Amino acid sequence: MNQENPTRAGPGSAVPMTNKLSIVIPAFSGLDQIRQCLRSLGESNYRDFEIILVDHGVSDAISRLAKDEFPRVTCLRGSADFWWSGATNLGVRYALETGSQWLMLLNHDCYVQPETVGVLLNMIKNNENSLIAPVQHMLREKRDIVGITSCFLLGFPTIIPPAAWYRLRYPEGLVPTPLIGGGRGVMLGAATFQRVGMLDDEQLPHYYADHDFYFRCRQAGLQLFICRDARVDIDDTMTSSANPDSSLTLAGFAAGLKNRGSHRNIRDLRILFSRYYPIPGLSGVGVALNTARFFFVSLAGKFLDLLKGGKQDN
């Protein structure tokens, strides 16, 4: 079903909730990834859910893909100006307005394992005052991400401890985590949005809106968990994270500081640090530390490349 002009009302306008699960997928580009994402959902052991695909691309290619290959998917047409946060909010509002009680936020480059949706739904029903995400398996790096934390004081909005540490401490079940990584299969109740509000699509249209949302959830008393028994495969080859800092030219590094499509952009970092830096009035220190880290890692990468090139010449 295609909805060209869905209402953009807030979460307070939702109809009475049912026991419905809606999976919200914002998509700007990447037809092959979108196709794989939707196919993985079609192969789920548990299939009693609605898929809401939010097409905010510059053309109608995504909507046409949904209509031709996945006719049971609800496709909402959004603006290319929405970015990730606005597109996700559009899908969430539609889910709330149509009575969904449970939601999963899933990026288009995420492929769920067959057991993931059912396992997460059972977990969230037994832990309603929480948000629960699957283990993230990074296909490009061939590694798992279990928990995520941060240290704003030293300029680190995202720290990924080794998965082995979590496996030793939490051999099964739910793993408490200070932070969840993006819209990569997190499941939550509709009441969460009524409690903490929507993603901040005005101040944080793309990167770090997820951080801000999950921090607000924690401030509201909600718990964040990773479910060891659920997994989602992540194909991040089209994101800025796929380009390591060490591979950037100085021009590329400078461009990333201004590009809101990059996790290195200063504007969004300043907003995030201003909200969560532990020392009032000194959030600029955290931003400076973060940017300096990116810069020195980039320089170190260039230096190592020069050394390797010199050895090859010899």
In contact, 284 and 266? CB cutoff 8 Å: no
| pTM of full prediction above 0.85 | yes
What's residue 314's pLDDT?
A: 53
SS3 (DSSP) at 9:
coil
- In this prediction, residue 309 has a pLDDT band, given cuts at 50, 70 and 90, of low
The total number of residues shown for the chain amounts to 314
308 against 102, higher pLDDT:
102
Which residues sit opposite 224 in a β-bridge?
Answer: 131
3-class secondary-structure state, position 93? helix
Segment 132-143, tens digit of pLDDT: 999 999 999 999
List the chain domain ranges.
2-240, 243-313
* Mean of all residue pLDDT scores within the chain: 89
Distance CA 143, CA 200 (A): 30
Q: What is the pLDDT of residues 154-164, one digit of tens each?
A: 999 999 999 99
How far apart CA 186 and CA 193 sit, in angstroms, is 14
With 0-12 / 13-18 / 19 or more C-beta atoms within 10 angstroms meaning exposed / middle / buried, residue 61 is middle
* pLDDT of 305 higher than 80: no
List, as one string, the DSSP characters of 13-49.
GPPPP-SEEEEEEEESS-HHHHHHHHHHHHT-S----
Going by C-beta distance under 8 Å and a sequence separation of 6 or more, which residues neighbour residue 107? Answer: 25, 26, 37, 182, 183, 184
List, for residues 60-83, the tens digit of each pLDDT value.
999 999 999 999 999 999 998 899
What is the percent of the chain with per-residue pLDDT over 70, rounded to a whole number? Answer: 86
* DSSP letter for each residue of 212-229: HHHHHHHHTT-EEEEEEE
Q: How confident is the model at residue 257 (pLDDT cuts 50, 70, 90)?
A: confident
Task: Report the topology of domain 2-240.
Answer: Spore Coat Polysaccharide Biosynthesis Protein SpsA; Chain A (3.90.550)
Instruction: Tell me what pLDDT residue 73 has.
Output: 97
CA-to-CA separations, 186 to 24, 58, 117, 205, 255, in angstroms, rounded: 10, 27, 10, 19, 31
